[in-house]
Structure 1
Amino acid sequence: MTISITLPLPAGESSDGELAELALGETGPWRKPHGLIRSRKVYAAAHVTPKVLGNNTPGAPADIDWDSTLAFRRELWSWGVGIADAMDTAQRGMGLDWAATQELIRRSAAEAALIATPERTVRDLLACGAGTDQLDPSAVEPGKDGLAAVLSAYREQIAAVEASGAKVIIMASRALAKVASGPADYLALYGTLLSEVKEPVVLHWLGTMFDPALAGYWGSEDVTAATATFRQLIETHSAKVDGVKVSLLDAGHEVALRASLPAGVRLYTGDDFNYPELIDGDGSHYSDALLGIFAAIAPAASTALQEYDAGRPAEARAILDSTRDLGLHIFEAPTYYYKTGIAFLAWLNGFQPGFQMIGGLHSGRDVNHLVKLFRLADTAGLLLNPELAATRMAGFLSNAGIPSTVTVAGLVTEGLVAEGINA
């Protein structure tokens, strides 16, 4: 069935908002796995959906549509990937407050428990972020009292994740970045936490492109010096470290760190730009993955991982490479607004009823960015229901003041009415 949509031409190709018809391609040849994916250990970092009629204005407590939010997690699990929840993709520090976070952890873990098996435990299915965002960084000061407040906040959140049965991801802390005086404070505080956790955890190093408030993490703005502190922590406590997630968007740094990790400690790539070659590996080592982009490309990522399982690495790498341009675009600067693109694509694909985000973050990208996202998702075969996606895109454009129509097998419809709702 032929489906086309009128879209604004890409920036630079027209100076007056000229529209052109785009004939959509077919959805990719994606397939769900029949069993466990074994070649790599991967988690897709998932977003949350707000209630359509909730008060999700900036600064308001998150009001979550639990049905849509949990249904999306079941969709991701059906592709054989684990879920990294309550992370920055779920808008930690950008709209998701601690009260809603606790509920998200409990509900996601309850869903994971329903499908867990001895081979695929809740910890394999779900890893959740534990941070300190119940603390207001402006209310803590450097020194002993500030460090004690950070430690207490971490303990509270780690306890909540452990009680759920999920794997703990110790997230980077804005408050710790403020109160720590140098590497020794990081080593002491993280060392205390690692001595206390019940099971091995994932350590998360989030770069300033994702959160500028984390400048100087691990006690230095020099990456080499910070890495030395990070490695010292891991080597000292390797029995309590399942793996590390590094989100610095620096493939060379990741490759070097990966090769230096103690035996048994995984490198979960957080590089949403260079994930194809990092997951593919260099012949000696490869990265596992804990990625926001995997929530957007789960069908393709799953199919690629199944190719690795089948001993066809070239085919697997080609699939991952085919999604790279979409990832580069979704995570372009300012990178911390990548969540808007993840939610937009989920909406296009029918996984949430409206294009809204908690905290009003759906305004984080402009129309041109989202039009290009639509084009790249089509090229990558990741519009899972092209007719629905085109109809919703046309409605979005019409609401933005850009007349757009969808043609399905020769029948032209207006975007706003093609679904029978205000799309």
Structure 2
Amino acid sequence: MNGGRRHFRPVPLVLSRIVFFWGEVWKCWRLTLDWTVQVYIAIPALFIGANMYRDAWLHPPSWFAAVPRQTVFVLLAAAMLRARARTFADYGDGLFLRRSARWTRPMIAAGLAYTLLVRLLTAAAVVALLAPLLDLRFGWDAATGAAMAGAAALLGYAWTLVRDGLERRRSGWRRVAAVWVARLMLMAAWVAGMTAIRSGASFGLALAALIAASCLLTWLRLRAKGTFLHEVAAEREAYSACVRFLLMEAGGARSVPRGRKPLLSLRRNLFRRRGTRERIAELWIKAKLRDPENVQALLTFAAIGSAAVALPPPGLGLAVWPVSGLFALFWLHGQWKQWEGERYVAMLPWPPLALREAEGIGRRALFLPLFGLWGLALGCKIGLLYGGAGWLAVPLAPAVGWAAGRYLDSVVSVYLQFRKRKRKAQTGERPSGTEEEEARENA
């Protein structure tokens, strides 16, 4: 009896929930990792990975010499700036546990300690995987790698608290935008700060700043009130993130609701002209912008495309620019076809040619700003590289990108129509009335 009372305390309760959480995650993964997967996929993958890791030590590849130090810092930041603060809150806590600070603060403190420990283990794993590169390319020893892992863990811990505060104070699209802006700012500050360090004293100052920021954020988090529902939603999202990959195709992993409000409230019309095709395109755009996963995919496209055109030399970036645009156009076409196949869309009687024309309008509405942003990144690269008259590329590149983006969109539209007709000709399918009208108009 005394043993049960002893375990029913804040910290032991959180520890039991941690064990239960990972037990449930393991049960879900165990359904997939059966003996066939282990024999034919998992064990060969481990064997091949271990051999590649060993070969990297014994026979360093030639590309090691071309890797800058910033790459290591970017990889560490990318691994650290994805987590969120964990408190292992449960709906039942609202009955009586959350009414007493004697329970609330120790439970939150135990969850934050778990968050810091997981960040430390993750940073150590990343440094261990990069050990051949760090040792052979930069000459880091074990002490330097351990210190860098500790600094990265503090960065990840501070990020979890910053993200927790942003998600508690904002909702909808403002939450997504604020989280991404804060993530990019922290990554830029981390890479710039670590690159500027040249001595042990400067690294000690940076580490002290990270410790001070982490302590301040922890103190503010422990004093925060009204966080219970957010913590419960964060725990549901954490479990979903651990098993979403397994249940993605089975339909068992559902998106966690963010609240009663939509991600983006678009009350006004997006297009001045209110024809049928504009209305259909508006429906598609609003559906995509209200989905957090699609918004994150668009932001990822924007970041990756900007890096693809800005990091190489200007000539290569100019060649990559339209190629990236083609990838984006085909991705948007796939998003449209997926939406067009939805049950509530397929059941409606649309006018002839309405869906195809609406796809072009909606696709251009999302693609042209994205393509122009990549042009702006390329123009900034030219301005920074050449200076003087090179800064004229900053306003000119987006303007050229707007016209080039419309041309690429027209080329993709013609190709999609040609592929559709060729497929129907191969299968012997008779053209529909819409296609006959289109062919008559072209004639």
Q: TM-score normalised by the shorter chain: which range applies? A: under 0.3
Structure with greater proportional strand content = 1
| Higher Rg | 2
Structure ranking higher on relative contact order (CA contacts 8 Å, 6+ apart): 1
Structure with greater proportional helix content = 2
- TM-score scaled to structure 1, two decimals? 0.27
